[in-house]
Amino acid sequence: MDDARVVAALCQAWSGESRLTILDADFKEGLLFLKLWDAWREATSRPKRLHVIGLLPALPDRVALQNDVRARLKGFGGEQLLPQLQAMLEVWPLNLPGLHRLEFEAGAVTLTLAVGPVDVLLNRLRVRVDRFVLSHTSLLPQARLLAADGAQVCWRDQSAGLARQDAVVRTLVPITRAQPSVVPPYDPWLQSPVALDAQHALVVGAGFAGMGVAQSLAIRGWRVSVIDANWGQQTSAHQQHAAAALTPMVSKDDNIRARLSRAGSLRAQSRWGALPESVLLRCGAIQLQRDQGRIVDLAAVLDALQFPSQWAQFVSAEQASELAGMSLGRGGIYFPTAARVHPQGLLNALSTTPGIDMLHAQADRLANTSGVWQVLDASGKVLASAPHVVLAGGIHTQTVLKQSGLLKENARLASMHALGGEVSFIPAADLSGGPRCIVAGDGYVLPQQEGHCVIGSTYAHAAQEVLVTQAGLVANLKRAAGLLNIPELPGRINVGALAGWAGWRAVLPGRLPAIGPVLHAPGVWVACGFASRGLTWATLAGDLIAGALNGEPLVVENDIIETISDN
Ligand SMILES: Cc1cc2nc3c(=O)[nH]c(=O)nc-3n(C[C@H](O)[C@H](O)[C@H](O)COP(=O)(O)OP(=O)(O)OC[C@H]3O[C@@H](n4cnc5c(N)ncnc54)[C@H](O)[C@@H]3O)c2cc1C
């Protein structure tokens, strides 16, 4: 079968679909994706959304990919695909395991690259697939678990050889869905896209979580009403919070928390990359090797993970000092893509996304009338109503669920607790201008913003209220002294003249967030429990929830979803 017929087979009858999901189990250099995208662009009648999932063991390097695909396009006269190739290369991700979401045509065409062993990945995807492109019958049982109603398989002809592999398809045959051994009665993660006229959601909370969700919904064309008790007030959660860190983390066994933080950092960088430096400064971060307590050999951790150096690299004390522009006593892991963020600047920017409107009000509880969710205040007044609600009020999410009679005793959310803490602001001049990158370890020191460096932070267990305290300032100065290798720092600063910011972290067991549906209340979702990583998990929460409501392939794997969505 020639190229045109392959694409025609995959696009067969697609005009009747609102969206089409195609899984290519052997993505290689992505020629098939480029052809499908081109066909979608040229079609007069086509699905509103085209989602392609490409499975591959490792991602080729961008430059190698460019040279290889260019040559192949020229080889068969496919130059009309060059603009699409260029667009794909511009957002081509680093070779990191897990899922990567690339968006084109204002999100109407998406490419989800799943990197790792194909059989493992097939078990980890949460998606309904309409068309599969497979080369081996051995993948059929796993494909059956992902098949949508009416799904079909295109068989790649192995005999055609690698050079023409993506140009040759033998047959297009129906594939029936197999039921998994444990079938949930209803899986909100795998729903059909919400109809256009029902695309209205209420979000309770305008912190990182709420605004992350609101942005993800709004850019998909949803109407979003965000309700916050403190929006626009001096008491707003991050009004005084001068700067915060957006940094990935690693673990030797690449555990769920590390994978989630990688996915979250990647999503945040992709969504917030165009923000001005005053809001998001890509300054990089050094995670210093510990010098006391439980010492983990960070160089060995990175050796085991084999990540590209553009994502994480081990640096000596000399290299770390060079990067920070200050003499640091230790080396550690350098994350070049880490960023310093101005929290309120970020929230303000997200609130201006077309489709979002902000309401200043305190939500007390939810009520459901005829399938529509209402958010009520303490007097019983209806603040707003919509078919979908996302509760993202940090620690107060628990209270709203309880008031609504929706908090199950044994749910993970019932064990969420508040952990107070404060950061301090120190004049950059007292730190010779401060570090050029984030210096982290036991706490952190951030590059200066408007003449001050944020240093922190404290952990106040069982606190009744959060305040900036003298003890907190002293503790943060000691942390900064240790990180920056300036033992005399606390002695030379007038603590009484320093300012700071204090806030709450909502913490769940394992310091993993709660993101997902409230199963016993269809239409209600939560995004909370972000602990110390609100920036890392905000966009990811948004793209997971908005993705599910739009019937998209989910942006993280099944095992992660199961862990964070057990609400
Ligand atoms: C000292 C300190 C330093 C930190 N540093 C960092 C850092 O560097 N990087 C990082 O990523 N994270 C950091 N964090 C953690 C980060 O602040 C949290 O993870 C983040 O705030 C969680 O966001 P959220 O939107 O879930 O909750 P919140 O920030 O608590 O926001 C919840 C919002 O919901 C509103 N709300 C709550 N209930 C209701 C209701 N019933 N009705 C209406 N509105 C309601 C609140 O007014 C608030 O605006 C730090 C935290 C502390 C305490």
Q: Is the CB of 425 under 6 A from ligand 1?
A: no
- Whole-prediction pTM value? 0.95
CA distance 553 to 24: 13
Amino acid type, 17 = E
Quote the domain boundaries for residue 151. 3-174
In this predicted structure, the answer to whether residue 169 has a pLDDT above a threshold of 60 is no
CA distance 197 to 191: 16
CA distance 290 to 322: 19
- Claim to verify: residue 30 and residue 71 sit in the same structural domain: yes
Best probe residue, ligand 1, of 267, 532, 533, 564 (max atoms within 8 Å of C-beta): 532
CATH number of the domain bearing residue 119: 3.40.50.150
Beta strands in 243-289 (DSSP E): 244-246, 280-281, 285-288
Tokens of residue 1, six digits? 């079968």
Q: Are the C-beta atoms of residues 22 and 53 closer than 8 Å to each other? A: yes
Which residues fall within 8 angstroms of residue 165, CB to CB, at 6 or more apart? 26, 28, 135, 156, 158
Q: Is 162 exposed, middle or buried (0-12, 13-18, 19+ CB in 10 A)?
A: exposed
Q: Tens digit of pLDDT for each residue in 261-288?
A: 999 999 999 999 999 999 999 999 999 9
DSSP conformation class of 373: E
Amino acid type, 548 = A
- 526 CA from centroid of ligand 1 (Å): 14
Beta strands in 431-537 (DSSP E): 438-441, 443-445, 452-456, 499-507, 514-517, 524-528
- 237 CA from centroid of ligand 1 (Å): 6
Q: Is 515 exposed, middle or buried (0-12, 13-18, 19+ CB in 10 A)?
A: buried
Best probe residue, ligand 1, of 267, 442, 446, 457 (max atoms within 8 Å of C-beta): 457
Chain center to CA of 388 = 21
Beta bridge partners of 315: 332
- Claim to verify: residue 124 and residue 37 sit in the same structural domain: yes
Chosen domain end from 507, 524, 546: 507
Chosen domain end from 174, 209, 227: 174
- Claim to verify: residue 104 and residue 214 sit in the same structural domain: no
| Mean pLDDT computed over 238-250 | 90
Q: For the chain, what is the total number of helices (H) and then of strands (E)?
A: 16, 27
CA distance 513 to 81: 41
Beta strands in 38-128 (DSSP E): 49-56, 98-104, 109-115
- Claim to verify: residue 421 and residue 383 sit in the same structural domain: no
Q: Is the CB of 456 under 6 A from ligand 1?
A: yes
Answer whether residue 551 is part of any domain. Answer: yes
- Claim to verify: residue 355 and residue 411 sit in the same structural domain: yes
How many residues are present in the chain? 567
In this predicted structure, the answer to whether residue 159 has a pLDDT above a threshold of 60 is no
Report, in angstroms and rounded to the nearest whole number, the Rg of the chain calculated over CA atoms: 25
Chosen domain end from 464, 491, 507: 507
Question: What is the distance between the terminal CA atoms of the chain, rounded to a whole angstrom?
Answer: 49
Q: Tens digit of pLDDT for each residue in 95-130?
A: 999 999 999 999 999 999 999 999 899 999 999 999
Which residues fall within 8 angstroms of residue 329, CB to CB, at 6 or more apart? 291, 317, 485
**Dmax (CA) of the chain:** 77
CATH number of the domain bearing residue 368: 3.50.50.60
CA distance 300 to 288: 14
- Claim to verify: residue 356 and residue 215 sit in the same structural domain: yes
In this predicted structure, the answer to whether residue 567 has a pLDDT above a threshold of 80 is no
In this predicted structure, the answer to whether residue 185 has a pLDDT above a threshold of 80 is no
Q: Tens digit of pLDDT for each residue in 502-556?
A: 999 999 988 999 999 999 999 999 999 999 999 999 999 999 999 999 999 999 9
Beta strands in 157-292 (DSSP E): 169-174, 200-204, 223-228, 244-246, 280-281, 285-288
- What percent of the chain has pLDDT above 70? 95
In this predicted structure, the answer to whether residue 165 has a pLDDT above a threshold of 50 is no
Among 163, 214, 169, 148, which residue's Cα sits nearest to residue 24?
Answer: 169
Confidence of residue 232 (pLDDT cuts 50, 70, 90): confident
Tokens of residue 162, six digits? 């690698």
- Claim to verify: residue 36 and residue 110 sit in the same structural domain: yes
- 462 CA from centroid of ligand 1 (Å): 17
Q: Are the C-beta atoms of residues 419 and 505 closer than 8 Å to each other? A: yes
Which residues fall within 8 angstroms of residue 195, CB to CB, at 6 or more apart? none
At residue 11's C-alpha, the angle toward residues 6 and 15, to 5°, is 160
Tokens of residue 131, six digits? 């068309």
- Claim to verify: residue 373 and residue 395 sit in the same structural domain: yes
Best probe residue, ligand 1, of 530, 540, 545, 564 (max atoms within 8 Å of C-beta): 530
Q: Which ligand 1 atom is at minimum distance from the Cα of 536?
A: 11
Which residues fall within 8 angstroms of residue 15, CB to CB, at 6 or more apart? 43, 45, 46, 47
| Mean pLDDT computed over 24-44 | 92
- Claim to verify: residue 302 and residue 376 sit in the same structural domain: no
- Claim to verify: residue 27 and residue 139 sit in the same structural domain: yes
- 288 CA from centroid of ligand 1 (Å): 26
Q: Which ligand 1 atom is at minimum distance from the Cα of 361?
A: 43
Q: Which ligand 1 atom is at minimum distance from the Cα of 531?
A: 19
Q: Is the CB of 244 under 6 A from ligand 1?
A: yes
- Claim to verify: residue 429 and residue 459 sit in the same structural domain: yes
Q: Which ligand 1 atom is at minimum distance from the Cα of 210?
A: 25
Q: Are the C-beta atoms of residues 208 and 538 closer than 8 Å to each other? A: yes
Q: Are the C-beta atoms of residues 455 and 443 closer than 8 Å to each other? A: yes
- 212 CA from centroid of ligand 1 (Å): 12
